[in-house]
Amino acid sequence: MTKEQNHLRDIVISAIIAALYVALTYLSQMFGLGYGAVQLRLSEMLNCLVIFNKRYIWGITVGCVIANLSSTLGVVDILWGSAQTLITLTIIYFVSKKLPNLISKLSSVVIIGTAMMFLIAWELVVLTKAPFWLTYGTVAAGEFASLLVGAILFYYISKRVDLVS
């Protein structure tokens, strides 16, 4: 495959991941769980892809930007929430590169992704005057659940599908 073909393939894969992120976020929002202090974004399970290839960082981040266009918190969530995603995914990518096996890499996604929800809790505290620790607990719990399901799914998917190339 030429360099141009490989670049085009990465763009197409990123676009598909972005579309999946948006669709899964909107599905979560149908149940009132896509935005706010109590959320369970199914789309966050896609964060597990980052351990396989850094190209997924951009697809997920773009998907988050597009999904956050519907956020009730407006432009702050579009910018801050999406920046949190980019920062978290970048940290996960670099940490996971140093880990020895798939299980430890997927575990790092769950731990780091859940811990980094303090940035979303802080955003909600500033914008809605919600109590920090309660808000952090609820958004972190939703993130943990989504990432744990994603880690399990992508563990088995990666046994059948090449997510690296």
Mean pLDDT, rounded, of the chain? 96
* For range 151-164, the mean pLDDT: 97
From residue 93, give the alpha-carbon distance in Å to each of 35, 51, 129, 154: 25, 6, 32, 15
Q: 3-160 has which fold? A: Arp2/3 complex 21 kDa subunit ARPC3 (1.10.1760)
Burial class (CB in 10 A: 0-12, 13-18, 19+), 123: buried
Q: What is the pLDDT of residue 88?
A: 98
Type of residue found at 91: I
Going by pLDDT thresholds of 50, 70 and 90, the confidence category of residue 1 is: confident
pLDDT tens-digit readout, 72-126: 899 999 999 999 999 999 999 999 999 999 999 999 999 999 999 999 999 999 9
Instruction: Please tell me which residue, 143 or 32, carries the higher pLDDT value.
Output: 143
* For range 35-57, the mean pLDDT: 95
Q: Does the pLDDT at position 35 exceed 90?
A: no
Give the 3-state DSSP-derived string for 14-79, with helices as H, strands as E and coil as C: HHHHHHHHHHHHHHHHHCCCCCCCCCCCHHHHHHHHHHCCCHHHHHHHHHHHHHHCCCCCCHHHHH
Q: Does the pLDDT at position 56 exceed 80?
A: yes
Type of residue found at 153: L
When mean pLDDT is compared across 23-27, 64-68, 70-74, 87-91, the lowest value belongs to 70-74
Q: What is the pTM of this model?
A: 0.94
Provide the angle, in degrees to the nearest 10, between the axes of the packed helices 55-68 and 3-30.
40
**Where exactly are the structural domains of the chain?**
3-160
Q: Does the pLDDT at position 26 exceed 90?
A: yes
Q: What is the pLDDT of residue 165?
A: 86
